[in-house]
Amino acid sequence: MTWSINSIPSQEGRTVFVTGANSGLGFDTAQALLEKGATVILGCRTLEKAERSRQKLLDETDCGKIDVLEIDLADLEKVNEALDKIAVKYKKLDLLINNAGVMAPPQTFSKQGFELQFAVNHLSHMALTLKLLPLIAKQPGSRVVTVSSGAQYMGKINLDDLQGGEGYDRWSSYSQSKLANVMFALELSKRLQQSNLDIASLSAHPGLARTNLQSTSVKLNGSWQEAIAYKLMDPMFQSSRMGALPQLLAATDPTAKTGEQYGPRFNFRGYPKICRIAPSALNSDEREQLWQLSEKLIGDAVDISKGKELLSTKK
């Protein structure tokens, strides 16, 4: 049976936090969940973008359960400050969707000096997940969905040079960050199960979805070759609303299980189904090493101590 927006069960009473909710997959995900009755926190890089998205959603959706949060994932200290606001305002969090991302920019660094794609796509989402874990754990049956990409299948984790200091290649760094997303989701699932926490961790990827990532990449790199390639490939791309279906399935379908990954039926477009995880992500030793290294890089910038404590408790 085809899974679509209509397959989403009622989300009444659920509180959801979506990063990168101002456009593309994040916006479409937020809209679908709002239409099903959820309270949605829009996580966006600036308040201006967040308020603009909030107003558009209010105009298009018959629901007012929308909150906004300014969260700059390129600065771990600002991530920490933003999440403190959620902890004060909300008593529980049913669903976290780690959706925001950057794709193939020229070599750029986060506020803490990390390669931007690794910082935004992986480190900040790991940090915010662990910081919010005590809030998520208050709601039985809660879920964390981490959004990856088909680039995971081409990714390789360079544990000796995660920041690309020995020679930056923007697409290799992007693929590494998307593989890291899946590795994090799997490792989190394992640790949640070991701690007997009733939280599911899943991953999803949109296939070839038409979002602002493509135009932003072309603009930042000034690549006419890339612009032509996207133009030629355009008929293969599906809408961002279709691309959002895998993460919506992972977030809401009662049969979706921790550790699973969902993607388009043909892995680049189509309705969602359970899909193959990149073989490199199945290496448990590498996942453990990546986790430990990531914790060290997050350091004291984000207070993840309570989340780590929850996961270290074997029950």
Q: Is the pLDDT of residue 313 over 80?
A: no
Token representation of residue 125 = 């989402």
Give the residue carrying structure tokens 């990827």.
Answer: 205
Candidates 259, 253, 236, 251; CA nearest to 150 is 236
How far is CA 84 from each of CA 66, 71, 271, 272, 280, rounded to the nearest angstrom?
18, 11, 37, 34, 34
Q: Which residue out of 153, 168, 174, 271 is catalytically annotated? A: 174
Q: Averaged over 254-265, what is the pLDDT?
A: 96
Tell me, what DSSP letter sits at residue 167? S
The crossing angle, in degrees rounded to 10, of helices 284-298 and 170-194 is 100
pLDDT tens string 114-161:
999 999 999 999 999 999 999 999 999 999 999 999 999 999 999 998
- For 12-309, CATH number out of 1.20.120.160, 3.90.1170.50, 3.40.50.720, 3.30.465.10 equals 3.40.50.720
Domain ranges for the chain: 12-309
Taking only the tens place, the pLDDT of each residue in 151-200 is 999 999 999 988 888 889 989 999 999 999 999 999 999 999 999 999 99
Mean pLDDT of the chain: 90
Query: Residue 223 pLDDT more than 80?
Result: no
Residue 82 phi, psi dihedral angles, 5° rounding: -65, -40
CA distance 23 to 219: 17
| Residue 42 per-residue DSSP state | E
Total residue length of the chain: 315
pLDDT band at 214 (very low <50, low <70, confident <90, very high): very low
Instruction: Specify the pTM.
Output: 0.91
174 is catalytic: yes
pLDDT (tens digit per residue) in 286-305: 999 999 999 999 999 999 99
3-state secondary structure 90-156: CCCCCEEEECCCCCCCCCCECCCCCEHHHHHHHHHHHHHHHHHHHHHCCCCCEEEEEECCHHHHHCC
Q: What is the DSSP letter of 15?
A: E
